[in-house]
Chains A and B, each alone.
Chain A
Amino acid sequence: MAAVAAAPSRKTETYTDTKRRDDVRGANISSARSVADAVRTSLGPRGMDKMISSGDGDVIITNDGATILSRMSLLQPAARMLAELSRSQDAAAGDGTTTVVVLAGSLLRRAQSLLAAGAHPTAAADSLHRLAARAVEVLHGMAIPIELSDRDSLVKSASTALNSKVVSQYSSLLAPLAVDAALSVVDPAHPDLLDLRDIRIIKKLGGTVDDTELVRGLIFDKKASHAAGGPSRIENAKIAVIQFQVSPPKTDIEQSVIVSDYAQMDRILREERNYILGMVKKIKASGCNVLLIQKSILRDAVTDLSLHYLAKAKILVVKDVERDEIEFITKTLNCLPIANIEHFREDKLGYADVVEEVSVGDGKIVKIIGIKDMGRTATVLVRGSNQLVIDEADRSLHDALCVIRCLVNKRFLIAGGGAPEIEMSMQLAAWAKELHGMESYCIKEFADALEVIPYTLAENAGLNPIAIVTELRNRHAKGEKNTGINVRKGQITNILEENVVQPLLVSTSAISLACECVRMILKIDDIVTVR
């Protein structure tokens, strides 16, 4: 008699089957929630920062949700999904990375209670989808349109983004800086687009964050080459970006020079000198007086001899420029890179008023300003008293720039301070009453979940969260859409008048992404490990 060896008897296993499903789902939700709880205390202007120390002794202090989550090594797959969520929010909007994770955690908590009450996961997931769509409509209803020419509003949103970070005291300096940098990069042919790769941030230890400045030109975090006493300041500069090497010839194939007597040695030295002199003469003949040399993998870009000749020809040399920086540099200088000495022509040079090497902190940088026909780029020099502060300032500046990018993409603002979340919660709960069945129940629960944001903001500020949230609900029910929590005064005020605003895109993408992530977690009912 054939024993059906493979097909396992599933009859008695139906109970264990669902149990495993529930177990897996419960485990996923719990681990995701614990991740959300970990970053909860970083939310808002009174949020705390986290210090992350890695195995090799590296220490980072940050308030940015995406950074915290990406540095945490998470093993549970659902927890990793939350880290991905934060990253997606970072990519989409730049700010609100902590908000999105806290929202997801709160939605998951409600989902857990819904499942325990007997709702089917698919039903809960579908209602979440409807909720997200409707929430975005509510947010649009609260939105205020702005123009890019309204610099003040832009500065206000950038300030709000910076308020929750370590560098919040410097927001009066950094916010206008970010706005100016961003506006100078926007291409009128593509007014809806802001490519953040056109803004370069250079970090230099020393000074304080107050010394951060926006440079309308180019900065290299390197010294000008002084090995042979070259000039450190050039006016009326003609700049060439070269991708070839000013050094003795070296073939691609391996070669060796065989010398059999002293006279030959002399001759070799002389030939080498003449070769390089020839190159330098050609460079000088085109009128070039500043040379930016790309780092080469094939051989030395410059040798002492070539530096000597270049210095004698009064050419300022900056070497070791990375290959991927070349595009940025040529765009800024409005010139083309030169790959071979034969192609060295005047029309490939860029022009600038001043190129000089300045002492900054305990290092030096090369500054190029007054570039003729400068391309649409900007450079920001960030200073700070220690490396941790500089890194966090860099991340905060990036967030502020992303906020402005959001505004360029979608020109609407909404009030901050928890106002949008309470408004959404209220309107969605009212809408839920008009629906039927399980859907209505699910949507009501999820709508209540949105209140976690003002709750957390108040909590982190040391206020009484329940009193604050109920007061907020009351005011919104009376129709005051723009009331929010003012953490500095510790009360509820019209947050719009207090200039706490954020781009519409940050809130809409936060709610959409959080809902999508929670939907995906809810629909998972088994984990398969592949070895």
Chain B
Amino acid sequence: MIFTLRKKIQSLMSILDISKVQDDEVGDGTTSVVVLAGELLREAEKLVNMKIHPMTIIAGYRMAAECARNALLQRTMDNKGNTDKFRSDLMNIAMTTLSSKILSQDKEYFAELAVDAVLRLKGSTNLESIQILKKPGGSLKDSFLDEGFILDKKIGLGQPKRIENANILVANTAMDTDKVKIYGARVRVDSMTKVADIEAAEKQKMREKVQKIIAHGINCFVNRQLIYNFPEELFADAGILAVEHADFEGIERLALVTGGDIASTFDNPESVKLGHCKLIEEIMIGEDRLIHFSGVAMGQACTIVLRGASEHVLDEAERSLHDALCVLSQTVNDTRVLFGGGWPEMVMAKEVDQLARKTPGKKSHAIDAFSRALQAIPTIIADNAGLDSAELISQLRAEHHKENSTAGIDVITGNVGDMQKRGICEAFKVKQAIILSATEAAEMILRVDEIITCAPRRREDRM
């Protein structure tokens, strides 16, 4: 959402950028990173008013960021070895990610869904193989995970509705008419029979094309463009399932998932790789008919079908699920986790505070400011939950003064709670990315002291 704002203020662009980078790299924490950067800048302004040079502030921030990161590194937990514990870690992370979104009411169900989908990926961060299909109707709880690929198209008329052990040819070719692509090409004849002959020849050409396609030894043909009536009938007669108008994305995914190539010409059957799957059949979801490919070559593929009351709900659900999937796939790679609910911020704030006390010179003011900025995050979370933030933060600080505290804000009860018991977790990578990106962005803006606007490009006179 932040990307679509009109970029009026030039320096706003760098803030927008870090949010985008956060989304690309990790997938979640996009709001946190912008908030943290904002807080750092707010504190920095106060320091500047105290006549501290920005370079000092930057140096201080850098030291603080390093210290904060180390503080977290020492306290991460890693359950790579234990699959059960790891799975419950993933569930907790997914639930934490989803709890700030519209799916929060059904977060266990969707967390389960997301974890299953990601575990199928077996460590790859390529989320391409997880397809999210949106179908209005029903409620969010009717969404499900399907272990195959679903194409949102109908099967042609008169064709088999179910094929086992399918060989699939994925193509991008025009199957309606074969025009010569030279403008103004025309044929001149002198009798009607010749015209009839040419027409018959065109039909024959189409027939031959279909024959060539069939000669690949396939029983399913998926085309990106239209398949008009005549070839459709030819395919039906040959018992081949033909699907038309599958859009670009559908074609790309299908090719990826079934292990085939996308073909445009059909002269060399040996050089074209066909896709394979165990079963193709037509299924109904709600009132629409779709095509289901199961037992595909690429075992990691799966489809999540989202059902919901309206388009708004579905769109937001897709975005939330995408966030959760991103975070989970990152965590599968980098399995270190931390507690959530403001715990990492308070831990970092405490360490950074201690660093400030030890550091002589004006830098320590900057380090102090960093610690304050860090504490702003749990403050804002508490504010948004309608709780008394001042009271909660002070309680939290007192808890963290003890060694090995696991205290954080529990928004459900509205008090300080034990994050370990509550199971509120976050991925280490997310937190690390937030700290580093926010610090860098704040730094970059602090370094700017002059804005030079170039004159608009003068347009040359067109003759």
CB-defined contacts of A294 to chain B, threshold 8 Å: 229
A275 touches B196 (CB 8 A): yes
Complex interface residues of chain A between 76 and 91 (CB less than 8 A to chain B): 81, 84-85, 87-88, 91
CB distance from A39 to the nearest CB of B (A): 18
Across the interface, A336 reaches (CB within 8 A) one of B11, B102, B158, B287, namely B158
A258 at the interface (CB under 8 A from B): yes
CB distance from B420 to the nearest CB of A (A): 25
A5 touches B448 (CB 8 A): yes
What's the Cα separation between A81 and B315 when bound, in Å? 14
CB distance from B86 to the nearest CB of A (A): 31
What's the Cα separation between A267 and B190 when bound, in Å? 10
A257 touches B190 (CB 8 A): yes
A227 at the interface (CB under 8 A from B): no
A336 touches B199 (CB 8 A): no
What sequence of 0s and 1s flags, for each residue 260-293 of chain A, a beta carbon within 8 Å of any chain B beta carbon?
1000100110011001000000000000000000
12 contacts between A and B (CB under 8 A): A84-B310, A88-B309, A120-B385, A122-B386, A243-B229, A243-B230, A252-B179, A253-B186, A255-B195, A271-B192, A336-B236, A530-B5
Given A81-B312, A88-B136, A340-B203, check contact A271 B196 (CB 8 Å).
yes
B63 at the interface (CB under 8 A from A): no
Closest to A85 in B: B310
Q: Number of contacting residues on A, CB 8 A?
A: 66
CB distance from B195 to the nearest CB of A (A): 5
Given A129-B105, A326-B157, check contact A6 B41 (CB 8 Å).
yes
A530 touches B6 (CB 8 A): yes
CB-defined contacts of A258 to chain B, threshold 8 Å: 188-190
CB distance from A9 to the nearest CB of B (A): 7
A117 at the interface (CB under 8 A from B): no
A2 touches B309 (CB 8 A): no
Across the interface, B195 reaches (CB within 8 A) one of A249, A327, A330, namely A249
Other than the given A257-B188, A271-B193, A339-B232, 7 more pairs (CB < 8 A) read A6-B445, A84-B312, A122-B384, A249-B192, A249-B198, A253-B185, A253-B186
A255 touches B198 (CB 8 A): yes
A7 touches B309 (CB 8 A): no
CB distance from A130 to the nearest CB of B (A): 9
CB-defined contacts of B184 to chain A, threshold 8 Å: 254
B9 at the interface (CB under 8 A from A): yes
Complex interface residues of chain A between 475 and 531 (CB less than 8 A to chain B): 509, 512-513, 516, 520, 528, 530-531
CB distance from A452 to the nearest CB of B (A): 21
CB-defined contacts of A75 to chain B, threshold 8 Å: none
Across the interface, B180 reaches (CB within 8 A) one of A2, A6, A253, A338, namely A253
B188 touches A7 (CB 8 A): no
B177 at the interface (CB under 8 A from A): yes
Residues of A within 8 A of B (CB): 1-7, 9-11, 81, 84-85, 87-88, 91-92, 120, 122-123, 129, 190, 193, 195-197, 243-244, 248-260, 264, 267-268, 271-272, 275, 294, 298, 326-327, 330, 336-340, 343, 509, 512-513, 516, 520, 528, 530-531
CB-defined contacts of B6 to chain A, threshold 8 Å: 530-531
B233 touches A91 (CB 8 A): no
CB-defined contacts of B54 to chain A, threshold 8 Å: 2
What's the Cα separation between A7 and B41 when bound, in Å? 6
B239 at the interface (CB under 8 A from A): no
CB-defined contacts of A7 to chain B, threshold 8 Å: 38, 41-42, 44-45, 445
Complex interface residues of chain B between 223 and 266 (CB less than 8 A to chain A): 229-230, 232-233, 236-237
CB-defined contacts of B190 to chain A, threshold 8 Å: 257-260, 264
Across the interface, B137 reaches (CB within 8 A) one of A11, A91, A343, namely A91
What's the Cα separation between A258 and B191 when bound, in Å? 8
CB-defined contacts of A516 to chain B, threshold 8 Å: 309, 313
CB-defined contacts of B10 to chain A, threshold 8 Å: 6
CB-defined contacts of A120 to chain B, threshold 8 Å: 385-386
CB distance from B270 to the nearest CB of A (A): 30
Closest to B1 in A: A528
B187 touches A251 (CB 8 A): yes
Across the interface, A268 reaches (CB within 8 A) one of B44, B192, B237, namely B192
Closest to A294 in B: B229
B433 at the interface (CB under 8 A from A): no
B403 at the interface (CB under 8 A from A): no
CB distance from A144 to the nearest CB of B (A): 23
B203 touches A4 (CB 8 A): no
Given A4-B446, A251-B187, A251-B202, check contact A340 B230 (CB 8 Å).
yes
What's the Cα separation between A2 and B53 when bound, in Å? 8
CB distance from A324 to the nearest CB of B (A): 11
A248 touches B192 (CB 8 A): yes
What sequence of 0s and 1s flags, for each residue 366-386 of chain B, a beta carbon within 8 Å of any chain A beta carbon?
000000000000000000111
CB distance from A441 to the nearest CB of B (A): 13
Across the interface, B189 reaches (CB within 8 A) one of A255, A298, A338, namely A255
CB-defined contacts of B185 to chain A, threshold 8 Å: 253-254
Closest to A81 in B: B312
Given A252-B177, A512-B309, check contact A6 B12 (CB 8 Å).
yes
B4 at the interface (CB under 8 A from A): yes
CB distance from B82 to the nearest CB of A (A): 35
What sequence of 0s and 1s flags, for each residue 271-290 of chain B, a beta carbon within 8 Å of any chain A beta carbon?
00000000000001001000
What's the Cα separation between A3 and B451 when bound, in Å? 11
CB-defined contacts of B236 to chain A, threshold 8 Å: 336
What's the Cα separation between A286 and B232 when bound, in Å? 22
CB distance from B46 to the nearest CB of A (A): 9
What sequence of 0s and 1s flags, for each residue 52-70 of chain B, a beta carbon within 8 Å of any chain A beta carbon?
0110000000000000000
CB distance from A259 to the nearest CB of B (A): 7
Complex interface residues of chain B between 1 and 42 (CB less than 8 A to chain A): 1, 4-6, 9-12, 38, 41-42
CB distance from B155 to the nearest CB of A (A): 11
Across the interface, A193 reaches (CB within 8 A) one of B38, B287, B311, namely B287
CB-defined contacts of B354 to chain A, threshold 8 Å: none
CB distance from A373 to the nearest CB of B (A): 15
Across the interface, A513 reaches (CB within 8 A) one of B177, B287, B309, namely B309
Given A251-B187, A253-B180, check contact A512 B139 (CB 8 Å).
yes
